[in-house]
Copies of this chain bind each other. A is one copy, B any other.
């Protein structure tokens, strides 16, 4: 997004009396090999004095836009001055920021915080309904902008910077979050035929939406493909470099939603799990979010005892999505559940109890591992997990079959998000959630949306790459895919009826 240059301009003379801006721009155009460099009117006001003060030896900060560059800062060449940028992953649940030194590419600080829009609605749909009212949209927008501003200030303060030292912000989020961020109407996003206000938002000035950065700072918003396929995925692809590879790889992001992209340097196909009924709400949200004391691994030993490990080895307080997948794999392996996911009374024995007509299985008894209450899962939890794993696998199956690729020929299987870090691929394969391919092909890439935006900040040419990735992706609409529903029904068994390997 940003290019920083040092220039030695020829000072003006009677023989070379070009205007100050024209002199600077001519040299920038020569250096950057482009005819298209813009300057704001308010920047022009300051140039005559800046150029003379620094004796025509000037450092220029340029922001890449779709049609060229915009000059956003001209100053002396003082080495101590820091030019920083902000990368944002705008999640429905969590928002993560990185403060990046635009010259050294160093990540100078990180922050992550709960999306304050949660106070209005935990899920996207609730927020979109709230935004049907114009003041509701404004409030959703205000909440997120204010919280981002606050966190930028804090990140800056930790490095003795000011918001005016921030020269750019790149942000990636799902389509609805992007619309709230840009104060764009969301009402048509959730109504057939599901139309965003915009897929490729323009680059704009930070102050147009109340972001408190340098007054010349630009904001770049990663484009989305449609209502259910957002810029966070484009940013993830950019980070995983799928669009550069000869071999075909697959990318999955299982967060609040589940998105999958398949392809290589020549083609990309994507689909989103919001289309699968069981993934609404997201596989990662079954159980609780990963955190201290949360069970993330479960092994059943030969004596049918449950051995659990919890994050930070603290007394267990619950189980997270990846722990649940481990658990389900083990339960199935040792016969605690049948292939429909129903508890087998004879094996579960005294671990099973019924309350309000719902069956519960005790995983950790009060007192074990220091737990101060029984930790249980219900038949509904297992059922939800099976619906989620079925949807996940069905999406993977649908997208690969759509282009005639089999899982075995994939070079990499990228798993983005915290889910990717915590999941045990063997367990996910065992329950038929992920395909049975060599474990080493699974690559947990973490918050690839954030990492993609960080990458974007310091590489001016990536603006073209991002648009190219967006335009390359063929979006497979699962809502209108008849095969999807029949595959989904077949996948609701453990591991699944249509054994893949």
Do A38 and B202 form a contact, CB below 8 Å, given A17-B226, A45-B184, A185-B49?
Answer: yes
B contact residues around A45 at 8 Å (CB) = 183-185, 197
Q: Which of A18-26, A74-82, A423-431, A450-458 contacts B (4 or more CB under 8 A)?
A: A18-26
| Interface residue? A55 (CB, 8 A) | no
B200 & A22 in contact (Cβ 8 Å cutoff): yes
Number of interface residues of A (CB under 8 A): 51
Given A19-B199, A22-B199, A13 and B48 touching (CB < 8 A)?
no
CB pair A197–B48 under 8 Å, yes or no, is yes
Which of A36, A41, A66, A209 counts the most B-chain CB atoms under 10 A from its CB? A41
Annotate A205-229 by CB proximity to B: 1 below 8 A, 0 otherwise: 0001100000000000000101100
A182's partner among B44, B67, B197 (CB-CB below 8 A) is: B44
* Contact partners of A198 in chain B: CB under 8 A: 19-22, 39, 44, 47
Alpha-carbon distance between A394 and B27 when the two chains are bound, in angstroms: 36
A166-190 interface with B by 8 A CB criterion: 182-185, 187-188
> Is A48 touching B199 in the complex (CB atoms < 8 A)?
no
Q: A479 at interface (Cβ–Cβ under 8 A)?
A: yes
A20 vs B184: C-alpha distance in the bound complex, in angstroms? Answer: 11
A310 CA / B36 CA spacing, docked (Å): 54
A42 within 8 A of B: yes
Of the residues B38, B41, B204, contact of A40 by C-beta under 8 Å: B204
Closest to A479 in B: B14
Residue A338 CB within 8 A of the other chain = no
Question: Inside 8 A of A19's CB, which chain B residues have their CB?
Answer: 195-200, 224, 226
Query: B14, B40, B192, B197: which contacts A20 (Cβ < 8 A)?
Result: B197
Q: A195-B19, A480-B14 are in contact. Are A202 and B40 (CB under 8 A)?
A: yes
A12 contacts the other chain (CB 8 A) = yes
Given A13-B193, A67-B36, also A18-B185 (CB < 8 A): no
Closest to A186 in B: B48
Q: What CA separation (Å) do A202 and B43 show in the bound complex?
A: 11
Q: Which residues of B have CB within 8 Å of A187?
A: 48
Question: Nearest chain-B residue to A41 (Cβ)?
Answer: B204
Q: Please indicate the chain B residues that have their CB under 8 angstroms from the CB of A379 in the complex.
A: none
Chain B residues in 8 Å Cβ range of A345: none
A194 an interface residue at 8 Å Cβ cutoff? Answer: yes
Nearest-Cβ distance from residue A28 to partner chain B, whole angstroms: 14
Is A201 an interface residue, CB under 8 A from the partner? Answer: yes
Interface check A477, CB cutoff 8 A: yes
A193 engages B41 (CB within 8 Å): no
The A interface is mostly helix, strand or loop, or mixed, namely loop
Chain B positions within 8 Å of A17 at CB level = 193-195, 226-227, 477
Residues on B with C-beta less than 8 A from A47 are 197-198
Which residues does chain B contribute within 8 Å of A194, judged by CB atoms? 14, 17
Contact residues in B for A192 (Cβ distance below 8 Å): 14
Q: Which of A63-106 contact B (CB under 8 A)?
A: 66-68
Given the known A-B contacts A45-B184, A45-B185, are A39 and B202 also in contact in the complex, defined by CB atoms under 8 Å? yes
Minimum distance in angstroms from A408 CB to a CB of chain B: 32
A169–B219 CA distance with the chains assembled, in angstroms: 28
Q: Which of A453-488 contact B (CB under 8 A)?
A: 477, 479-480
A182–chain B nearest beta-carbon distance, Å: 6
Chain B residues within an 8 Å CB radius of A201: 41, 44
Cβ–Cβ < 8 Å partners of A226 in chain B: 17, 19
A1-34 interface bits toward B, Cβ cutoff 8 Å, 1 = contact, 0 = none: 0000000000011101111111000000000000
A150 CB, nearest partner CB in chain B, Å? 22
User: Contacts of A183 on B, CB cut-off 8 Å?
Assistant: 41, 45
Are A208 and B42 within 8 A (Cβ)? yes
Name the interface residues of A411-456: CB closer than 8 Å to any CB of B: none
The digit string for A321-341, where 1 denotes a CB below 8 A from any CB of B, is 000000000000000000000
Complex CA–CA separation, A38 to B67 (angstroms)? 10
What is the distance, in angstroms, from A490's C-beta to the closest C-beta of chain B?
A: 25
Given A44-B182, A44-B197, A47-B198, 11 new contacts (CB under 8 A)? A12-B193, A13-B193, A14-B477, A21-B200, A36-B67, A38-B66, A39-B202, A41-B182, A41-B201, A45-B184, A48-B185
- Can you list 22 pairs linking A and B with CB atoms under 8 Å apart? A14-B479, A16-B193, A17-B195, A17-B226, A17-B227, A18-B195, A19-B196, A19-B199, A19-B226, A20-B188, A20-B198, A21-B198, A21-B199, A22-B198, A38-B66, A40-B204, A41-B183, A44-B198, A45-B184, A45-B197, A47-B198, A48-B197
In order of increasing CB-CB distance, the 8 nearest A-B pairs are A19-B199, A21-B198, A67-B67, A19-B196, A19-B198, A14-B193, A22-B199, A12-B195
